[in-house]
A and B are shown apart, each in its own frame.
Chain A
């Protein structure tokens, strides 16, 4: 009985994919592996990019890459936070710094340079960079917009937020707009579930000095498009909740509970004893 149910479900899944034609459609031979990720169903959407380096202009093992003079100072500062024999602890902060310096993504030579600085084999840095989805190994826009797709945000409409963004910008997920300003990515829970749905705007337009990483919460499809328009004009919209009736993560329209000073627990209430 059970196996019959399974089989019928598999058939149903197969039929569904046949009609939408996304999952099992053979890819044209001209599709590059880096494009495969953008087709839902063929590759898992959770993987932000191919786990393999392909040489291409701007990201080649033959390029030269180094930290800028200012950032070299910051590298020293970062390294000084860790014991000398555990320099590899600095790999995440250094990758972050490299990403800020390089306009939001890390070319392979930057990873090699970091491996050299912290004295490990390059593969150990590749492992870290591929593990964390916040490290981009493909170019992104100057403003990288990451939509939280975890359950609370999804229930509150993150799919619509993302659709509005993609439609407004005319791109697919992971693609950069023609003017190089915007790209849209997905990320996991950022801990703002009380203000769901939310996006993060990583601002790489001002280099590592003016880098900012702002949360925009309580979004609507309309508001998120307005945000993009403000960013395009060079403004920095006020971060945090976008619902004018809320203060930070407080409830809409003012508090509804805890209206008086709460009573201390009985054990602390010395007078009652």
Chain B
């Protein structure tokens, strides 16, 4: 610890901090453009100039290490004059187009020019203009507005791992660009919009649609993957205008994936807005809620309990899954599962399906073996954490499964079980790496544990974990990565086929937003109830449609892949005649004569508390205590899957909302049309 003084106030700071960070600690905020706490230091905008006693010139505080006894002054006339000078230079070539700029109202340059800018300039030449670059369907560029802070270049290089952007040219003709015609093909590219301090990089879908001050912000959770990124939904009236990331150090830091950010236009298309019944001629007819519920109840009572089944979709919240399970259980049905889990999920011990290390702690791993997972496409932000580990501590990463393009150096060991068995039996050269590693981690794609040979896979994993010392007193490196937002809560609530479940043919199928089913999964003569918010795949097969709510319209509990409980908040009203999902099931239970004992959300949560108390402790991770391996004496040699399947075919279209989104369709066309090498 060293002591410095900021504006006469002395403060103890750790060695190695910069002057700017020292000022932040005291609560003095320093204007800046190029400095960003999560990126490397560039020191090229010069806006953060401060005066330090006994130095001849103002110093750039973002790049200057704080030294013991430094007397920093941030509010002297010299500082103000220096910053005014810098601001004048920055504004030389900056166009005066704030009235038509999408960044207007939330622009760093606009805000800081209110403090340090002059109402006139001394520059009488022609302002320069810069050719706009094509960065794809997500990021709009107006490069004339660029002030060359290079934040986007550093973000692309350091966080996103796609070295496409660079600083070209020099001096007055310097510009940011890709030189060759190159789209920014990153799953995190949208974050450059937030990182850009001016309006040079803005959102293409959001362009000219709203002003920041007319939006209502709602803090919520993203459900497009199992990471549970914290988001802010900006809405105007009944419409979601945009989605931005919200800071959560343990989950998503301050980034979100492009799918989370740009798929919101899918919320406005293909929506189910009223209950519908399919008539004998195949047409769907809108009916009243009462008629729809009556018909469902009638159909449910027509079949035997063992011929019923319920599937919760990948976007379902814990409340509606709880209600669905209670309702079907009361009807006598034991066949309920969560989509993506298959019919034989491993749910006895939480550590067997969670990301036990934790997303944030993955940064500390020095070795990571990815088994049957396309990490970059399944969970972009977990991948970003691992990339951080690779960059900061040169962690070694190896993968078994279909070859995927990870954005950091890695070893592809093999495509399937053969390699897995080799490692388990110690016959693979990679085994030696485990011996050298201090904190080894294994990440298993949850899809791998859904096949018939899952106990053999598990046995192989058990040996790897044991031999590689993956689980220690202070380090649990065994991780399972789930694909869907609903999966973890579904397993906690016991959405698995109960012991009394029969394998007889399904005649009544209740789909709670489950859209990943193929026609083969749905028996031809079964009665299908589809409750959901989008007219996606399953709605075409449904006999009755009950319109539910999307995640932006309800307060729902979700558990992410590391077991963290988080809640969404309603940002916009529901569409048409649709209702909260759990309320629909509650109403249905009454019509069907098996009334569920809760009438309010709190009543339902009390029931959840009884089943899985962790689902009420919001933003809390209950670290699993037990090892996930109860099955001794299993032979790993029974693994039959020779090559592990691809889990994500198209990153941009994975669920009902993203499939309805035009932006995601454009991304698919732009990024997947070119070659097969991408996911």
Interface residues, chain A, with chain B CB atoms under 8 Å away? 3, 6, 9-10, 13, 23, 33, 41, 44, 46-47, 51-53, 61, 108, 120-124, 126-127, 130-133
Contact of B172 with A by CB under 8 A: yes
Q: Measured between alpha carbons, how far is A133 from B173 in the docked complex, in Å?
A: 12
CB contact between B165 and one of A9, A108, A123, A131 (< 8 Å): that residue: A123
Cβ of B171 and Cβ of A46 under 8 Å apart?
Answer: yes
Query: Can you sample 27 A-B contacts with CB below 8 Å?
Result: A6-B120, A6-B124, A13-B124, A46-B172, A46-B173, A47-B173, A51-B169, A51-B175, A51-B179, A52-B131, A52-B168, A52-B179, A53-B181, A108-B180, A120-B163, A121-B164, A122-B163, A122-B180, A123-B165, A123-B178, A126-B168, A126-B179, A127-B166, A127-B168, A130-B169, A130-B170, A132-B170
Query: Is B524 an interface position by the 8 A CB rule?
Result: no
Determine the residue in chain B with the shortest Cβ distance to A6: B124
CB neighbors of A among B143-187 (8 A): 157, 163-173, 175, 177-181
Which bucket holds chain B's interface residue count?
A: 20 to 34
Within the complex, the shortest CB–CB distance from A91 to chain B, in Å, comes to 13
A33 & B173 in contact (Cβ 8 Å cutoff): no
Closest chain B residue, CB of each to CB of A108: B180
Residues from chain B with Cβ under 8 Å of A122 in the complex: 163, 179-180
* Distance of A52 Cα from B176 Cα, bound (Å): 10
Knowing A3-B120, A9-B124, A44-B128 are in contact, say whether A61-B169 is a contact too (CB < 8 A): no
In the complex, the answer to whether A23 meets B126 with C-beta atoms within 8 Å is yes
Q: Is the CB of B124 within 8 A of A130?
A: no
Instruction: Select B167's contact among A47, A127, A133, beta carbons within 8 Å.
Output: A127
- A25 to chain B minimum Cβ distance, whole angstroms, is 13
- Check A51–B180 contact: CB distance below 8 A: no
- Chain B residues positioned under 8 Å from A3 (CB to CB): 120
Tell whether A130 pairs with B171 under 8 Å between CB atoms, given A9-B124, A10-B124, A124-B166. no
Residues of chain A contacted by B157 (CB below 8 angstroms): 121
A47 with B169: in contact, given A108-B180, A124-B163 (CB under 8 Å)? yes
Where chain B touches its partner, the secondary structure class is loop
Of chain B, the residue at the smallest CB distance from A45 is B173
B170 to chain A, nearest CB (A): 5
List chain A residues, Cβ under 8 A from B180: 53, 61, 108, 122, 126
Evaluate contact between B178 and A131: CB separation under 8 angstroms. no
Q: Say whether B131 contacts A33, CB under 8 Å.
A: yes
Distance between Cα atoms of A12 and B165 in the complex (Å): 40
Return B479 CB to nearest CB of chain A, in Å. Answer: 30
**When chains A and B are docked, how far (Å) is the Cα of A41 from the Cα of B129?**
12
Which of B165, B173, B179: most chain A Cβ within 10 A? B179
Contact at B124–A51, with CB atoms within 8 Å?
no
Expressed in whole angstroms, the Cα–Cα distance for A108 and B179 within the complex equals 9
Residues of A within 8 A of B164 (CB): 121, 123
Q: Would you call A51 and B173 a contact (CB within 8 A)?
A: yes
Are B163's CB and A121's CB within 8 A?
yes
Q: Type the 1/0 row for B102-145, where 1 means its CB is closer than 8 Å to any CB of A.
A: 00000000000000000010101010100100000000000000
Which residues of B approach A to under 8 Å, CB–CB? Answer: 120, 122, 124, 126, 128, 131, 157, 163-173, 175, 177-181
Report the Cα distance A24→B168, complex, angstroms.
26
With the chains together, A131 CA to B148 CA distance in Å? 14
- Closest CB-CB distance, A200 to chain B, in whole Å? 19
Contacting residues, chain A, for B167 (C-beta < 8 A): 127
Q: Write out the residue numbers on chain B whose beta carbons fall within 8 Å of the beta carbon of A10.
A: 124
A238, chain B: closest CB distance, angstroms:
34
How distant is the Cα of A41 from the Cα of B128 in the complex, in angstroms?
10
Separation in Å of the A6 CB from the closest CB of chain B?
6
Min distance, Cβ A108 to any Cβ of chain B, angstroms: 6
Q: Is B166 a contact partner of A44 (Cβ separation < 8 A)?
A: no
Tell which of B122, B166, B181 touches A126, judged by Cβ atoms closer than 8 Å: B166
Please state if A123 and B124 are interface contacts (CB–CB under 8 Å).
no
Max chain A C-beta neighbours (<10 A), residue from B122, B166, B171, B172: B166
| Residue of B with least CB distance to A61 | B180
- Determine the chain A residues whose CB is within 8 A of the CB of B120 once the complex forms: 3, 6
For the complex formed, measure the closest distance between the CB of B49 and the CB atoms of chain A, giving whole angstroms: 25
Alpha-carbon separation in the docked complex, A6 to B122 (Å): 8
List A contacts of B171 (CB < 8 A).
46
* A-B contacts besides A6-B122, A44-B172, 4 pairs, CB < 8 Å: A124-B163, A126-B179, A127-B166, A133-B170
B677 CB → nearest A CB, Å = 17
B166 touching A123 by the CB < 8 A rule? yes
Q: How far does the Cβ of A98 sit from chain B's closest Cβ, in whole Å?
A: 16
Q: Give the complex CA separation of A9 and B124 in angstroms.
A: 8
B428 to nearest A CB, angstroms? 27
Residue pair A131, B169 in contact (C-beta under 8 Å): yes
Q: Which residue of A lies closest to B166 (CB)?
A: A123
A60 to chain B, nearest CB (A): 10
The distance in angstroms between the C-alpha atoms of A13 and B124, with both chains bound, is 9
Cβ-closest chain B residue relative to A7 = B124
Alpha-carbon gap, A124 to B168, bound state (A): 9
Smallest CB gap from A36: residue in B: B131
Residues of chain B within 8 A of A133, CB atoms compared: 170
Contact (Cβ within 8 A) B163 A123: yes
Q: Are A51 and B172 in contact (CB under 8 A)?
A: no
Chain B nearest CB: distance from A105 CB in Å? 15
Q: In this complex, what residue of B is CB-closest to A12?
A: B124
Within 8 Å CB of B172, what residues of A?
44, 46
The minimal Cβ–Cβ distance linking B217 to chain A, given in whole angstroms, is 36
> Bound state CA distance, A23 and B126, in angstroms?
10
Pair A52/B124 contact, Cβ less than 8 Å:
no
What is the CB-to-nearest-CB distance from B167 to chain A, in angstroms, rounded to a whole number?
Answer: 6
Residue from B157, B164, B168, B181 with most neighbouring chain A CB atoms (10 Å)? B168
Which chain A residues lie closer than 8 Å to B179 at the CB level? 51-53, 108, 122-123, 126, 130
Interchain nearest-CB distance for A92 vs B (Å): 14
For B122, B124, B128, the residue with the greatest tally of chain A CB atoms inside 10 Å of its CB is B124
- Inter-chain CA distance A193–B405, complex, in Å, is 54
CB closest residue in chain B, given A17: B126
- Given the complex, which residues of B lie within 8 Å of A41, measured CB to CB? 126
State in angstroms the CA–CA spacing of A237 and B124 once bound together.
45
**Minimum CB distance partner of B131 in chain A:** A52
